[in-house]
Structure 1
Amino acid sequence: MTTTFDVPDVPAERLPELLRAMPKAELHIHIEGSLEPELIFALAERNGVKLPYADVQALREAYAFTDLQSFLDIYYAGASVLLQEQDFHDMAMAYFRRAAADNVVHAELFFDPQTHTARGVPMATVVGGLHRACQNAKVECGIDASLILCFLRHLSEADAFETLQEALPYLDRIVGVGLDSSEVGHPPEKFARVFARCGELGLHRVAHAGEEGPPAYIWSALDVLQAERIDHGVQAVHDPALMRRLASARIPLTVCPLSNQKLCVFPDLAEHNLGALLDAGLMATVNSDDPAYFGGYMNDNFLQVFAATGLDARHAYQLGRNAFEASFTSDAARQGHIARLDAVFDSFR
């Protein structure tokens, strides 16, 4: 723990109330992964897309994942209904409304343009709809939001460069770049040159590493890609030297407990290492990843992992503060969010 804030002792029976009330920053949300089955079917009908599922219930029943790839297969099928700018706007606004109900006040949305441009959807359509939703989220939901463009790591470096080229006219609407999709077999160094170019363009850089992949992928994300945050990173516990580095350098980890459980990284949530990461001094945060598929948005992730692992109010405060400190926002906004976090915790004394 690194904060000097005097965290109050909150009895176990009041902890869920505190977890729901605390303001939150979400730093690991794939906006395409927030597409609920009901919205998938509504957009399919609007756009005349035929789905390989009879109804909403049949689609939900397909959400039985054994690993990351089994999830990605359904994830990409669901994204096929996104064709018009309004579709991307409506998808993001549906997420923002759910996030606001969970007291999320800052969100940085991952989006996968290659999933859409490969289907003939222009980059302008994707960014236009998402950016308009980010603007509306501030007014309607009180959420500061920004966009992080992710490269699909199962595709080639050349494909990533082409995507970056298509995104150049819209960089004023994008705060950073990330790396997602199938981790095993696609090490970070595969994208070293495109990430270097993104750094030259002034974009923040983050990368998925150490979810199913080994600790070596986290080292590569840091040293080769110059990643400022590690998305997931839970496999770091198997490398003591890496744990020391992450703690001393205050490298944020955007951990996703329910995702980890659903994809069998931790088959039992009680075995999750979130508490161990925090107690080792790492800058861990809680996020929802792909909430429509993994069964929970921000409050669900907090409530379930705390109930399963016995984390307490001190852990809750550190997780909340870590997320604000790790966010790509202004110092003034960051301090305002932390002051609000402090006020909520003070109210539980």
Structure 2
Amino acid sequence: MNNLIQQLPKTELHLHIEGTLEPDLLLELSKKHHVDLPYKSIDEIHAAYNFEDLQSFLDLYYLGASVLVDEDDFYQLMWRYLLKCKEQNIVHTEMMFDPQTHTDRGIPFATFMPGFVRAMDDAAQQWGQSSLLIMSFLRHLTEQEAIDTLAAAKPYLQHIEAVGLDSSELGNPPEKFVRVFEQAKSLALSCVAHAGEEGPADYIWQALKLLKVDRVDHGVRCVDDPKLLQTLAETQMPLTVCPLSNTKLCVFDDMKEHNILDLLAKDILVTVNSDDPSYFGGYLNENFEALQQALNLNQQQLIKLVKNGFTGSFLSEQQKAHWLGKIDKLV
């Protein structure tokens, strides 16, 4: 099964580029920019990756992002992830980035966007890597700050496919961001939002009805609402599920309790993704392997999950058909 996981062309739809910051690069950049971290070794960093909940992860995540300062830092961050895509046969990736994490530190769009785009262009030219960017708003901040961020992004919109909503979910419902999502839609941007990870099923309804999202990030709490389950199945609304993340952040106590295959059986368009792989113990292939080990993922389920990734993506219908055909020929 692991060989098939590797061989299949795949897409990744829920990946925070700042969450791919590996301990070696973290230490390298902290020394480069004289950033004082509470960790002196890679082992100490790994020891800190035992999270109690989403907030304990976010605290470390934002600390890690503090070492990203100049354009080359952002290039290196993006380039290393795209190399991982090549290694794991992720032929298309849609990556979230958090501009407010950087602008609040005085790092402007003019620094991080050229770094990201240059790495994406290099990967496209060197091995045909397909990639898109999703600009995520930090939901623990105000909607006005999100509106200001959207305005600051306007010179770079040709490089941005969609907007998203991430960070601390509890206490920050989607309804808080209706105006900025309306503005994003008016700029012809697609929309996604984290909902129903730690927050309730009602947050998923809000994302669907108020933000009018094109897909839901996480969404695993949909099982708490039978009507929502029916709606998700009928509309084939994609859910970008992140198994290793969900267990690392104690959304599920054990991978054996994860509901992704139950949702798949209910004909919900669930996809597999790695979220913040350097913090959660694995990239995309490792997430599939974890499902195989804990839930006895079979070949039919694997193929369906991989195909769902393409179906739920922002690729053109022609591109989707191309890759779905490739998968059919492979199996």
TM over 0.5: yes
- 1:102 is aligned to 2:88: yes
Alignment check: 8 A CA contact 1:96 1:141 kept: no
Amino acid paired to 2:182? A
Deviation at 1:246, TM superposition (A): 0.3
Q: Which runs of 5+ in 2 are unaligned?
A: none
- 1:120 is aligned to 2:106: yes
> TM-score, structure 1 length as denominator?
0.93
Which whole-Å deviations, capped at 9, do the CAs of 1:184-218 have from their partners, x for residues lacking one? 10000000000000000000000000001000000
Deviation at 1:141, TM superposition (A): 4.1
- 1:333 is aligned to 2:296: no
Q: Which has the higher contact order (CA 8 A, sep 6+)?
A: 1
2:202: which partner in 1?
A: 216
The correspondence for 1:37, drawn from 1, 18, 23, is 23
Q: Which runs of 5+ in 1 are unaligned?
A: 1-14
Which whole-Å deviations, capped at 9, do the CAs of 1:203-250 have from their partners, x for residues lacking one? 000000000100000000000000110000000011100000000001
Deviation at 1:311, TM superposition (A): 2.0
- 1:135 is aligned to 2:121: yes
1:227: which partner in 2?
A: 213
The correspondence for 1:170, drawn from 122, 146, 156, is 156
Which whole-Å deviations, capped at 9, do the CAs of 1:35-81 have from their partners, x for residues lacking one? 00100111112222222212221111111101000000000000000
SS at match of 1:231: strand
The correspondence for 1:61, drawn from 39, 47, 62, is 47
Deviation at 1:16, TM superposition (A): 2.0
Which whole-Å deviations, capped at 9, do the CAs of 1:112-151 have from their partners, x for residues lacking one? 0000000000112111111111111212343200100000
2:328 & 2:29 partners in 1: Cα distance? Answer: 41
Which whole-Å deviations, capped at 9, do the CAs of 1:146-202 have from their partners, x for residues lacking one? 100000000000110110110011000000000000001000000000000000000
Alignment check: 8 A CA contact 1:100 1:142 kept: no
Percentage of pairs with the same residue: 50
1:286 & 1:310 partners in 2: Cα distance? Answer: 15
- 1:199 is aligned to 2:185: yes
The correspondence for 1:47, drawn from 18, 30, 33, is 33
1:81 & 1:140 partners in 2: Cα distance? Answer: 28
Deviation at 1:101, TM superposition (A): 1.0
> TM-score, structure 2 length as denominator?
0.98
Which whole-Å deviations, capped at 9, do the CAs of 1:238-292 have from their partners, x for residues lacking one? 1100000000001000000000010011111011001101000100000000000
SS at match of 2:153: helix
Mean Cα deviation higher: 328-337 or 241-250: 328-337
2:225: which partner in 1?
A: 239
1:145 & 1:298 partners in 2: Cα distance? Answer: 15
2:125 & 2:221 partners in 1: Cα distance? Answer: 39
What is the alpha-carbon root mean square deviation over aligned residues?
Answer: 0.9
Amino acid paired to 1:276? D
1:22: which partner in 2?
A: 8
1:76: which partner in 2?
A: 62
2:263: which partner in 1?
A: 277
The correspondence for 1:260, drawn from 229, 246, 250, is 246
1:148: which partner in 2?
A: 134
Match runs of 1:309-324 below 5 Å: 309-324=295-310
Alignment check: 8 A CA contact 1:99 1:297 kept: no
Alignment check: 8 A CA contact 1:97 1:141 kept: no
Total equivalences in the alignment: 331
2:294: which partner in 1?
A: 308
SS at match of 2:168: coil
SS at match of 1:81: coil
SS at match of 1:285: strand
- 1:287 is aligned to 2:273: yes
1:86 & 1:311 partners in 2: Cα distance? Answer: 40
Please identify runs of 4+ aligned residues in structure 1 that moved more than 4 A: none
1:86 & 1:337 partners in 2: Cα distance? Answer: 32
